[in-house]
Chain A
Amino acid sequence: MRTSFFARNPSVPIFLVLLAAFTIGVTILGEAYGTGDISTSFTKTLGKTLCLCLIAVALDLVWGYTGILSLGHFAFFGLGGYMIGMWLMYERTRAIVERSLANAPIPPTPQEIVDGIGTQIFGVVGSNEFPVVWAFADSLFLQLLMVVAVPGLLALVFGWLAFRSRVTGVYLSILTQAMTLALALYLFQNDSGLRGNNGLSGLQNLPGLGSVPQSKVSIWFLWASAAALGLGYLLAAWIVSGKFGSVMRGIRDDEARVRFLGYSVEGYKLFVFTLTAMIAGIAGALYYPQAGIVNPAEIAPIASIYLVVWVAIGGRGRLYGAVIGATFVSLVSSWFTGGQAPDIPLGVYTIKWVDWWLIVLGLSFVGVTLFAPKGIGGLVDLWTGRRAPDRHGADLGPDQGSFREREAGE
């Protein structure tokens, strides 16, 4: 009965090998260390996609396995980006300010340098003072800690409030959506301390590494993202394969039953919600330096909805499904909306993919929900012959109960 972890989860070694092969392949074909067949900007796109895969894995944990349809995980993703962005922006601005003050006849005091940075960063929102939230911006270590701590804390507080009052199902989804909307609206204000709708920018420049070309930086970030995704996937697989995973799926299928078995469902939900928020924070912290800018629009509810779309299309309830969905949909989306897809002339009307892609995506999403609830990952089942128990049409979500069959006497 008991076998090794990898033997029980054959998808894990396969995934890790593929990920490693992908990373090596991009490195060989990239501009910095290889042939240059893959441009720097496309390397960045690939690196960003890996980060999206990581947050998709996180969402799969919380939705596909635990049954909490969170429409707010991009809030944590964005917060992670903001946390690392604060350090990047602070340190880079410090370098600029120090360079400009170096020419002054009298050397600047430390306070003058800080004031100079403040003016540079916050001039755009009509301020020049550092808000409290920037207290640790000069410390990479502390900001890295905040990458996991701030999303984790937000998830902990929100989750505690929401789960404690036994809000479930659709209600909970709407509350998570409200949470991300509230955060986005808050950050949109100029006095939120994070530069309002300007967001944090210039994040692609690593402080102290100004001489390193972006082609190299992009490969480094690709490596970091791949490592994070690999570790995140491993962690997620480990969690879901053990008894904890059993309880998670139990909560998804029938949380009342789990409660009567003596498990505090709320504690488990809170644990998963907070953990995935932290993973999302890490993914965001790796994503935004590659994107170069993070602003409140990134946190808007629609972003989290797209995340759900990816996982659903890829196939929830299985980790590789989340990865496949995020990769496939985000790359195809950027291909269509990037104007690379050829237009289709229909005589009277030309279908421009930039305009019509979203409609296709929306409708195919409806189609997947209706006809292929297992998503693309369901194809793997056809291949391996894995068969789910007959559920008589019931789904994976937490419904009124579990997948009870109707009793003969009822």
Chain B
Amino acid sequence: MSLLEVSGVSVSFDGFKAINNLSFQIGDAEMRAVIGPNGAGKTTFMDIITGKTRPDEGRVIWGEKSKSLLSMSEAQIAREGIGRKFQKPTVFEDQTVHANLLMALKNERGPLSVLFWKPKPDDLARVEALASEIALSDQLARKAGELSHGQKQWLEIGMLLAQDPKLLLVDEPAAGMTPSEREHTTSILVEAAKTRAVVVVEHDMEFIRRLNCRVTVLHEGSVLAEGSLDHVTSDPRVIDVYLGR
């Protein structure tokens, strides 16, 4: 029983096929790395799952009730339990770390309930807990814009976790991080994958090796290979794609 099932999805921009008959599935509490050269369609793949891009054909089925995600808006999909971290860290720089986490906290999302919402002790405790998980306990009162690059990445991961999603889509979480920061990021993700599905898109093979999970290789918009890292890196087609040009 899979959590997310993508089957036969294609999308093209002005004749260019960004995704070509792609199929993919992932179960509950599974970690998956997605790799592929530039232009392989990794970001577009995430765009399709999160509702930002509508595919020309194919199906995207979600959860136990097998809902189709294709007719939902981005916000609805997010409320269904799919969280996404962008390639570039996107946190609300004008607001405090605390406010950022509070906004992401899983709660009612409607305008009226948000307007009259007051944080309960539980909520505050959850924010504290998340902050310590992402090593930002000391920074709660600071503006997010003042954080270092790596701290912003963590804050964004923290916001993802605050949403309590069933599926986490993480786009290049380790980009621009120092080695020690990477290590911490790895442990956050591995911890998260114990209770939910995590899809990590990454270039850095070292980072993926440390995640120690199944790997899906994308090439020209479709799945080229799938399996353990050692398995796929020994696949001649994968070597061809990565080194052959």
**Which residue numbers of A lie inside 8 Å of B, CB to CB?**
1-2, 239, 242-244, 246-247, 249-250, 253-254, 256-257, 259-265, 267-268, 271, 388-391, 396, 401-405, 407-410
Contact = CB atoms under 8 A, between A and B. Distances in A.
Interface stretch (B10-18, B27-35, B95-103, B210-218): B95-103
B88 interface: yes
Contact of A257 (B92, B143, B149): B92
A401 B90 CA distance: 8
B103 A259 contact: no
B111 A271 contact: yes
B57 interface: no
B115 A244 contact: yes
A2 B125 CA distance: 13
B73 interface: yes
Nearest to A254: B90
B78 interface: yes
Contact of A402 (B90, B110, B114, B143): B90
B24 interface: no
A250 B50 contact: no
Contacts of A267: 110-111
A390 B149 CA distance: 13
A257 B90 contact: yes
Contact of B145 (A250, A262, A403): A403
Contacts of B84: 260
B2 to A, nearest CB: 22
19 contacts: A2-B124, A243-B102, A244-B115, A253-B93, A256-B90, A261-B103, A261-B159, A265-B75, A267-B110, A388-B94, A389-B143, A390-B145, A391-B145, A401-B88, A402-B91, A403-B94, A403-B145, A408-B149, A409-B175
A77 B117 CA distance: 30
A244 B103 CA distance: 9
A2 B124 CA distance: 10
A256 B175 CA distance: 21
Contact of A389 (B86, B93, B98, B176): B93
B160 to A, nearest CB: 9
Interface of B: 50, 52, 73-76, 78-79, 83-84, 86-95, 98-99, 102-104, 109-112, 114-115, 117-119, 124, 143-146, 149, 159, 163, 175-176
A404 B90 contact: yes
Counting chain A CB atoms within 10 Å of each CB, the highest count among B83, B84, B91, B93 belongs to B93
Contact of A261 (B76, B88, B99, B163): B163
A260 B84 CA distance: 7
Q: By CB atoms of chain B within 10 A, which of A253, A259, A260, A401 has the most?
A: A260
A264 B73 contact: yes
The dominant DSSP class at the A interface is loop
Contact of A405 (B98, B117, B149): B149
A231 B119 CA distance: 24
A247 B115 CA distance: 10
B103 A243 contact: yes
A403 B75 contact: no
A404 B92 contact: no
B114 A244 contact: yes
B175 A407 contact: yes
- Which among A249, A389, A391 has the highest number of chain B CB atoms within 10 Å? A389
B21 to A, nearest CB: 26
Contact of B78 (A246, A259, A391): A259
Nearest to A270: B111
Contact of B119 (A2, A389, A404): A2
Contacts of A242: 114-115, 117-118
B86 A257 contact: yes
A389 B139 CA distance: 14
B93 A402 contact: yes
Given A261-B78, A262-B109, A246 B93 contact: no
Contacts of A388: 94, 143, 145
Contacts of A391: 93, 145
Contacts of A404: 88-90
A175 B62 CA distance: 38
A272 to B, nearest CB: 9
Given A242-B115, A246-B92, A261-B78, 18 more contacts: A246-B99, A247-B114, A249-B92, A254-B92, A256-B90, A260-B84, A261-B104, A262-B75, A262-B109, A263-B75, A263-B114, A389-B93, A389-B146, A402-B90, A403-B145, A407-B88, A407-B176, A408-B175
A262 B86 CA distance: 15
Contacts of A402: 90-93
Contacts of B146: 389-390
A246 B103 contact: yes
A407 to B, nearest CB: 5
Nearest to B144: A389
Given A250-B103, A389-B94, A390-B145, A260 B74 contact: yes
A250 B175 CA distance: 24
Contacts of A389: 93-94, 143-146
B44 to A, nearest CB: 15
Contact of B75 (A1, A243, A259, A407): A259
Contacts of B98: 1
Contacts of B87: 407
Contacts of B73: 259, 264
Nearest to B105: A243
A263 B74 CA distance: 9
